[in-house]
Amino acid sequence: MSKSPRWSNGSVNCRLEWRPSRLLQAVLILLGLLGAMSVLASEMPGLFAWPLAVASLGYGAWRARREGRLERLAFWFPGNGRPPTVDGRPMLDAHLQWRGPLAFLRWRACAGGRWRHAAWWPDTLPAPQRRELRLAAGDGDAGRHRRDRAP
């Protein structure tokens, strides 16, 4: 009998909940604040600079509030060739992209329907779940060191 560990050849399932990112909300508010400060620091006349600075602050706060009020979504990636689902409905043409620790998912709810989007930030998707999502979504780049593997 072999003493090596038994590796499972079954597929990986992944259940995730998407929720609004507090980090993204803070970044949106910060961008509004920085926009206001940059307008006030420019040589624009005060008659135009102050309303524009207030508009920048208001827009940053509005975007952060809008982001925070988005509904939570439940995703399931079966990982065995079946289509992934969101809130129990199948996703069509689902595409998962990675930008470092950020995950971006794009899908259609029905054939010919509009594209929907979800983005996981590091505060909403911890590293273990990030790895699980990479494996379940069938990402060919699940291992970080592709050159270390045999062709």
Please write the tens of the pLDDT for every residue from 48-77: 999 999 999 999 999 999 999 999 999 998
Is 102 domain-assigned? yes
- Co-location of 118 and 63 in the same domain: no
Domain count, the chain: 2
Per the CB < 8 A criterion, the answer to whether 111 and 92 are in contact is yes
Is 84 domain-assigned? yes
What's the whole-number average pLDDT of the chain?
Answer: 84
- Co-location of 130 and 84 in the same domain: yes
Is 8 domain-assigned? no
pTM of the model: 0.73
CA-CA distance, 142 to 64, in Å (whole number)?
Answer: 32
Give pLDDT tens digits for 13-54. 788 899 999 999 999 999 999 999 999 999 999 999 999 999
Q: What is the structure's pLDDT at 104? A: 93
- Co-location of 51 and 84 in the same domain: no
- Co-location of 96 and 117 in the same domain: yes
Is 146 domain-assigned? no
Note down the domain range covering 110.
14-19+72-139
- Co-location of 60 and 86 in the same domain: no
Cβ atoms < 10 Å from Cβ of 106: 15
**Residue 134 above 90 pLDDT?**
no
Is 104 domain-assigned? yes
